[in-house]
């Protein structure tokens, strides 16, 4: 039984190391150059720079300028952030100012893990 626990613990540590090196591919849909859009861009960029520096790709899509992309992704509200990689795909819709919500949505912090102080 101790061997199984050790193997599971090793697998978890290995998965955590791989996650720490994973490249993130993100797409942020905004609606024009409004204050809300600018705030969403700023918030997402700050989180990416703080937690994913050097290992993320962020594409900003204005749904007014590129409506076919928005239609293809079935975007119904803006701002919407889509995490394409690493899997699983995630969608965060609405206020991007909540750093904790972004971290959980991007799988950078488990839902039950308290924020480090």
Residue range 41-99, pLDDT digits in tens:
999 999 999 999 999 999 999 999 999 999 999 999 999 999 999 999 999 999 999 99
Tokens read off for 24: 């993130």
Work out whether strand 24-30 and strand 56-62 pair parallel, antiparallel, or are unpaired: parallel
Its pTM stands at 0.78
Three-state SS at 57: strand
Alpha helix positions (H), 22-97: 35-51, 67-72
Domain ranges in the chain?
A: 19-105
Q: For domain 19-105, which CATH number applies: 3.90.79.10, 3.40.50.720, 3.40.30.10, 3.60.15.10? A: 3.40.30.10
């Amino acid at each position: 039984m101790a061997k199984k626990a050790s193997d599971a613990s090793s697998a978890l540590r290995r998965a955590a190391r791989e996650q720490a090196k994973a490249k993130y591919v993100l797409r942020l849909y905004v609606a024009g150059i409004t204050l809300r859009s600018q705030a969403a861009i700023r918030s997402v960029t700050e989180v990416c720079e703080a937690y994913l520096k050097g290992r993320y790709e962020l594409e900003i899509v204005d749904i007014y300028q590129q409506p076919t992309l928005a239609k293809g992704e079935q975007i119904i509200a803006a701002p919407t952030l889509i995490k394409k990689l690493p899997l699983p795909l995630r969608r965060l819709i609405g206020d991007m100012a909540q750093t904790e919500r972004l971290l959980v949505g991007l799988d950078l912090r488990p839902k039950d893990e308290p924020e480090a102080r």
